[in-house]
Each structure stands twice: as structure tokens, then as C-alpha cells.
Structure 1
Amino acid sequence: MTIFLILVSGLYALFTAVLGFTWRNMRPFRSAGRALTGPAITVIIPVRNEADTIENLLNDLSRQAYARFEVIVADDSSTDNTLSILEHYARSASFSLRPLPLTNERTASPKKRAITQSIALATGDLIVTTDGDCRVGPEWLATIAAFYEATGAKLISGPVTFTTGQTVFDALQTVEFASLIGSGACTMALGVPTMCNGANLCYEKRVFAEVGGFAGVDHLASGDDELLMHKIAATYPAGIRFLKSPSAIVKTGAHQSWRGFYNQRKRWASKWRAYESYLPSILAVFVFLSNAAPVMAVGGWLLGFLNGNGTLAVIGLKLLPEFLFLRQILVFLQKKSSVWVIPLTQLVYPLYVLFFGLAAQGKGYSWKGRNLN
């Protein structure tokens, strides 16, 4: 067992070191000049019960340096006054804002339905998606447009982090989320895209239609981002890019309740069974085993099956390269203050991965007041 655990941890250390090297060699994108005009963009925001946050995002959009964009906000039968806020804002908005009320019909994936119906009305050549609780900077759309024109990417994944955290729970979520954003960015740079986030995602409207939209994955509640990316990558292997630019960072609120956190992470974890490519599934299993290794090592040491040196080797091979990688990502995301939480996150993360890896095998979770499968 000692050899197996050290082997798994050693492979994980090599994997993490490759990610860290890849991130360091990804040049930050800086456009020669701020893009004020370019491709027409349609920003799509699926919402449900976002009355407390949606106006902040709309105000951010009103301050965009980029002018050639429209916004469609698909309201999925909110039970608060989200729709009335949208309709009131649209009357005086400095940009084209279209509230799109959706019928309260039962569907396996409300968010995919909202995006699909919005795209049917979109006039932009590029579709940019974000969420109703997000905040964006004034250069957000200008940076996306400039990057698109510079690269010709078919799908662009942007950086996402949490707004300023006030609690240790917030900081833990920030570190964990940074690991997902960084890993996804590096696998894109390596030509084997695995993860992205729909809170900051851009793709060509034409390509969305070409790959059949969400057809084939529309029976799953989650996956409006990653599963679509995998479909586009299958047609355009070199067309998936990560936008490494501070001006493109989107911020969203961390969960304030364990129940909300649990349901979101279970929803995310449930996607892996739908991956058509073997690589993301293999990676998910590998990460699961890598996080199980230190838990098994400590258990083996307590039970006398593993000596102290072997246990320390397994733990060290995981923690050191992981810390160095996460620190890079947090600094880029302007979350240097969260670096101190990395060791605490590393302490609880193996148990977290094991828990959600097993929880994802069960069906059903609650999201936005709905029970979904």
C-alpha cells in the first residue's frame, strides 16, 4: 500500500507542477489599445430570484467601455420582484436591455433553457454569459472583444473569483474556487480543456448552432458551460482559449450557508458522468484518488500499516506543489489575502473531495427553490 500511495501522490505532484509551469508561461493578455468597437456582443444573464443583486450587475454593464453590446436577462419565473426591477431599469438603461420572462414549465435544465431561448433572440455575433449575482469591471467586454479579435477563439473562458470575503468560510471557498479556475485555464493552454465557468464565458453564436447547442446534454441540470465547451472542443480542438487578464475578472458572491454550498458543489460534481471525452472523467478519478491518498496514509499510519516517513512523503508530495500552484492563481485573481488559508484548505479538501465524489453518485439536489436531478 505504501508504494501505491507514494506513486499516486508522486503523479499528483508532477501533475500539479506541470500546471504551475503552464500557468507561469501563459502570457497575460494586454490589448494594444482599448477595444471600443468590434464584434457585436449579446450578454445573456439567466436569473431566478436575484432582486438583491441584479441591479448592481446592470449598473456595471452601464459603465462598460465597450459600446457594441446588448443584454438579454432571462427571468426564470422569479418569485421575488426581479422581473419588475428589470422592466423598470430597461426604460432608462444606457444600453439595449431586454427582459425575457420565461414560462414556469418543468424542465430538466432551467438554465440551459434560459440560454437557448435568449440566443434565439440574440443579434450579437458573440454570446457572453454571466450570472445575476456577478460583478464586472468597466473593461470586461472590451477585453473579451479584443482577445477574440486577436485569437479567433471559438470559445473563451474568463477568470472568476469571489467578492471580498468576510469569514474563514468565504476564504476557503475562494481558495477552492481558484483551484478550479486555474486548473481549467491550464488544461486549455495544454490543448485538453476540462473545466470552465458559465459566469464568464464567451462563444460564437454561429458555433453554438453548429454544434447543436445543448442537444444531447439538455437532460442534465448542470453543464451549460463545461459540457458545451467539450462539444465545441470536439469540433474545434484548437478553438478553446482562456483569457488571462485582470480586467476580465468576474466576481460573484460566496455561499453564506452550508446548504447552498452543498447543493452547488453536488450539482457541479454530478456532471462528470456526462463527459463524452474520457480525459475529464479520468482526471476526475485521478483527483479523487490523489485526495484519498493522504487520508489513507494517515489512516494507515494510525493503524500501523504505514510508517511515519511514508506518511510524510505522501502528504508532502501533495501539499508543497499544490501550495505553490494555488498561490499563483490567487495572486492573479487579486486574492493575495487568501493565501494564508491555503494550508487550512489543504487540510479539509481531501475530505471534501471524498464527500462530494460520493455524494455526486446520488441523484437530486435543490437549486434556486427547485428540486432537480
Structure 2
Amino acid sequence: MTIFLLIISGLYALFTFILWISWLRIPPFRTDIILADGPTITVIIPVRNEADNIKNLLADLSRQTYTRFEVIVADDSSTDNTLVIVQQYAQMAPFLLCPLPLSDERTASPKKRAITQSIALATGKLIVTTDGDCRVGPDWLATLAAFYVKTGAKLISGPVTFMNERTIFDAIQIVEFSSLIGTGACTMALKIPTMCNGANLCYVKEVFGEVNGFDGVDHLASGDDEFLMHKIAARYPNGVRFLKSADALVRTQTHQSWRGFYNQRKRWASKWRAYDSYLPSLLAVFIFLSNTAPVVAILSWLLGFLNGNVTLMVIGLKLLPEFLFLRQILVFLQKKSAVNVIPLTQLVYPLYVIFFGLAAQGKGYRWKGRDLN
């Protein structure tokens, strides 16, 4: 057992160190000009019951410095007045805003359906997706357009973080989420993309058609972002890029309830068995084992089966490289205040990973008032 724990912990330390170095080597992207004749963009916002948030996002879009865009808000049978708000805003918006009411039919993946139907109406060269509870800065679309022109990327993953953190629970979510954003960015830089986030995703409309959109994964409720990314990466191995720019940052809401947090994380965790590529599944298992190792080490030490020095080594191999990596990501995401919460997050994260790793084996979760698989 001692050798196994040290090997797993050592590999995790090496893995995290590689991520840290990869992050430092990703050049920050800065654009000092606004493209006068850049690519046209269609912003797609799938929504359900976002009456409290959607107007803020539409106001942000009204302040964009880049003007060659249209917006489609696909309303998935909201039971509040989300659709009415969008329809009213469309009459005064300084950009073309198309409300798209979707029929209230049972489907395995409501979000994939919303995006697919929106793309059928889109006129933009680039598709940009975000969520109804997000906020964006004035240079968001300008930065995405400039990055596309410079790199020719087929899919661009942008940074996402949380806003309005008020509690320790919020801060822990920020730290945990930053690890996902950072890992996704670094694996893209290493040409082995693993994850991205649909709250800030851009891809070429034509390429969506080339890979047949969500065909093959449309029976899964989650994964509108990552499964599409893997399909595009398989066709264009060098075409998936991370946009390391604060101007492209998208902010979303933390979960205020444990139930909402649980359902979202279970939804995310449930995807790993469906990947065609072995790498995301292998990474999921590796992260599970790496977070299990310190728990097993501490329990073994308490029961007298493991030497105290070995236990400290297992813990240290996880905590130190992880802290260095997370600190860099949080500073970039403009969440430097959350750095102080990294040790607390590291304390609870192994239990979190074990819990959701096991919870993902069961089917079903509740999302947006619906029971999904």
C-alpha cells in the first residue's frame, strides 16, 4: 500500500507541476484594436426560467465594442416571464435579437436541442454560447473575434469564474471551479483537450456541421460543450485553443443551495463514462485515485498501518503543487482574495471527489425543474 500511495501521489504532483508550467507558458492575449470587418457572430443563449438574470446579460451585450453580431435566446418552455422579457427587449436592443420559443416536448438533452435549433437560424460565421445567468464585459466579443482572426482556431474556450461571492461556500466553489478552468486550458495547450465550459465557448458554425453537431451524444443530458470540443479536436487536432484574456472573462452565479450544487456536479460527473476518447475517462479515474490517496493515508496512519512520515509525504505531494497551480489561475481570474481559501478547499476536496465519483455511478438528477438522466 505504501508504494501505491507514493506512486499515485508522485504522479499527481508531476501532473500538477506540468499543468502549472503549461499555464505559465500560455501567452496572454491582448488586442489593442477593434476589428472593423471581423467575422460575424451569433450569440446563442439557451435559457429556462432566467427572468431574474437575462436582462442583465442583454444589457451587457448592448454595451459590446464589437457590433458585428446577432443574438438568439432559445427559451426552453420557461414557467416564468423570461420569454416576455426577451421579446420586450428585442424591440429596443441595439443589436438583432431573436427570441426563439421552444416547444415543451420531452427530450434527453434540452440544451443540445436549444443550441441545434438556434444554429439552424444563425447567420454568423462564429457561434458563441453562454448562459442566461452570466455577465460579460464590453470587450468580450471583440476579444473572441480578434483571437479567431489571429489563430484561425476552430473552437475557442474562454475563461469563466463566479461573481458576488459572499460566503465560504461561494469561495470554495470559486477555487474548485478554477481548477477545472485551469486544467481545461492547460490540456488544450498540451494538445490533449479534456474539458471546457459552455458558458464561454466559440466555434465555427461550418465546423459544427462538419462534425454533425451533437449526433451520437444527443441522448446525454450534459456535455453540450465538452463532447462537441472532442469531436472538433478529433477532426482538427490543432484547432482547439484556450483564450487567456481577462477581457474575455465570463462571470456566472455560484450555487446558493447544496441541492443545486449537488445536481450540477453530479450532472458534470456523469459524463465521464460516455467519452469516446480514453483520455478524459483516464483523467477522471486518476483524479479520483489521487484525491483518495491522502484520505487512505490518514486513515491508515490513524489505524497504525502507515508510517507518519509517509503520510506527510503523500499529503505534501498533493497540497504544494496544487496550491501553486490554483494560485496562478485565481490571480488570472481576478479572484486573488480566494487564494486564502485554497487550503480549506484542499481539505474538503478529496471527500468531495470521492462523494461525486460514487454519486455519478447512479443515474438521474434534477435540473431546471426537470428530471434528467
Q: Taking structure 1 as the reference length, what is the TM-score of the superposition? A: 0.99
List aligned pairs for 1:107-186, cutoff 5 A: 107-186=107-186
What's the CA shift string for 1:225-280, capped at 9, x where partnerless?
00000000010010000000000000000000000000000000001011101111
Q: Is the contact between residue 136 and residue 249 of structure 1 (CA under 8 Å) also seen in structure 2?
A: yes
Paired letter, 2:102: L
**Whole-Å Cα distance in 1 between the matches of residues 164 and 109 of structure 2?**
30
List aligned pairs for 1:75-90, cutoff 5 A: 75-90=75-90
2:357 matches 1:352: no
Paired letter, 1:309: N
**Whole-Å Cα distance in 1 between the matches of residues 227 and 210 of structure 2?**
15
Q: SS of the residue aligned with 2:31?
A: coil
List aligned pairs for 1:153-302, cutoff 5 A: 153-302=153-302
**Whole-Å Cα distance in 2 between the matches of residues 285 and 35 of structure 1?**
44
Q: Is the contact between residue 37 and residue 66 of structure 1 (CA under 8 Å) also seen in structure 2?
A: no
Paired letter, 2:361: Q
**Whole-Å Cα distance in 2 between the matches of residues 149 and 82 of structure 1?**
34
What's the CA shift string for 1:339-369, capped at 9, x where partnerless?
0000000000000000000100100000000
**Whole-Å Cα distance in 1 between the matches of residues 146 and 213 of structure 2?**
25
**Whole-Å Cα distance in 2 between the matches of residues 110 and 165 of structure 1?**
29
What's the CA shift string for 1:290-335, capped at 9, x where partnerless?
0000000001001111010000000000000000000000000000
CA-based RMSD of the aligned residues comes to 0.6
Q: SS of the residue aligned with 1:358?
A: helix
Q: How far off is 1:33 after superposition?
A: 1.9
Look up the match of 1:369.
369
Q: How far off is 1:36 after superposition?
A: 4.4
Look up the match of 1:33.
33
Q: SS of the residue aligned with 2:270?
A: helix
**Whole-Å Cα distance in 2 between the matches of residues 53 and 110 of structure 1?**
19
Structure 2 gaps of 5+ residues are: none
Q: SS of the residue aligned with 1:144?
A: helix
**Whole-Å Cα distance in 2 between the matches of residues 160 and 319 of structure 1?**
24
Q: SS of the residue aligned with 1:49?
A: coil
**Whole-Å Cα distance in 2 between the matches of residues 35 and 44 of structure 1?**
21
**Whole-Å Cα distance in 2 between the matches of residues 92 and 29 of structure 1?**
33
Paired letter, 2:77: S
Q: Is the contact between residue 35 and residue 143 of structure 1 (CA under 8 Å) also seen in structure 2?
A: no
What's the CA shift string for 1:72-101, capped at 9, x where partnerless?
000000000000000100011110000000
Over the matched positions of the two proteins, sequence identity in percent amounts to 78
**Whole-Å Cα distance in 2 between the matches of residues 6 and 34 of structure 1?**
52
Q: How far off is 1:31 after superposition?
A: 2.0
Q: SS of the residue aligned with 2:104?
A: coil
What's the CA shift string for 1:197-225, capped at 9, x where partnerless?
00000000000000000000000000000
**Whole-Å Cα distance in 2 between the matches of residues 274 and 142 of structure 1?**
35
Look up the match of 1:337.
337
2:27 matches 1:13: no
Paired letter, 2:332: F
Q: Is the contact between residue 73 and residue 100 of structure 1 (CA under 8 Å) also seen in structure 2?
A: yes
Q: Is the contact between residue 36 and residue 67 of structure 1 (CA under 8 Å) also seen in structure 2?
A: no
Look up the match of 1:54.
54
Q: How far off is 1:32 after superposition?
A: 4.4
The count of corresponding residues between Structure 1 and Structure 2 is 373
Paired letter, 1:64: Q
**Whole-Å Cα distance in 1 between the matches of residues 135 and 234 of structure 2?**
31
Q: Which runs of 4+ in 1 moved over 6 A?
A: none
Q: How far off is 1:30 after superposition?
A: 1.0
Structure 1 gaps of 5+ residues are: none
Q: How far off is 1:164 after superposition?
A: 2.5
**Whole-Å Cα distance in 2 between the matches of residues 26 and 32 of structure 1?**
19
Q: Is the contact between residue 36 and residue 65 of structure 1 (CA under 8 Å) also seen in structure 2?
A: no
**Whole-Å Cα distance in 2 between the matches of residues 86 and 135 of structure 1?**
16
**Whole-Å Cα distance in 2 between the matches of residues 349 and 103 of structure 1?**
40
